[in-house]
Amino acid sequence: MKRVQKQKHEMAQKKKRRQYTMIGLVVLGGLLILIGVLLRPGDANIPEQIDVSDQQLVATGQEVYETYCAACHGFELEGQPEWQQPYADGSLKAPPHDETGHTWHHSDAYLVESIKLGGARLEPNIGVSAMPAYEDTLTDQQIAAVLAYIKSSWPQEILEAQSAR
Ligand code: HEC
Mutation choice for ligand 1 from 63, 65, 66, 72, CB with most ligand atoms inside 8 A:
72
Nearest-atom index, ligand 1, CA of 102: 26
The whole-number pLDDT of residue 115 equals: 98
Per-residue model confidence as pLDDT tens digits over 29-56: 888 888 777 766 555 556 667 999 999 9
Domain coordinates of the chain in residue numbers? Answer: 1-40, 43-163
pTM of the model: 0.77
Taking CA atoms only, the protein residue closest to ligand 1 atom 37 is 69
- Average pLDDT, stretch 52-62? 96
Task: Give the mean model confidence (pLDDT) for residues 85-99.
Answer: 95
Sign of CA dihedral 50, 56, 58, 61: negative
pLDDT at residue number 122: 93
Q: How far is the CA of 71 from the centre of ligand 1 (A)?
A: 10
Cβ-based neighbour number of residue 70 at 10 Å: 17
Name which of 114, 158, 165 is nearest 135 in CA terms: 114
- First vs last C-alpha separation in the chain: 75
Report the pLDDT value the prediction gives residue 102, as an integer from 0 to 100: 96
Classify domain 43-163 at the CATH topology level.
Answer: Cytochrome Bc1 Complex; Chain D, domain 2 (1.10.760)
134 lines ligand 1 (CB under 6 A): yes
User: Can you tell me which atom of ligand 1 is nearest the CA of 93?
Assistant: 12
Question: Which tens digit of pLDDT belongs to each residue from 120-140?
Answer: 999 988 889 999 999 999 999
CA pair distance 137, 145, nearest whole angstrom: 14
Index of the ligand 1 atom closest to the CA of residue 121: 18
111 lines ligand 1 (CB under 6 A): yes
Give yes or no for a contact between 119 and 128, defined as CB atoms under 8 angstroms apart: yes
pLDDT band at 118 (very low <50, low <70, confident <90, very high): very high
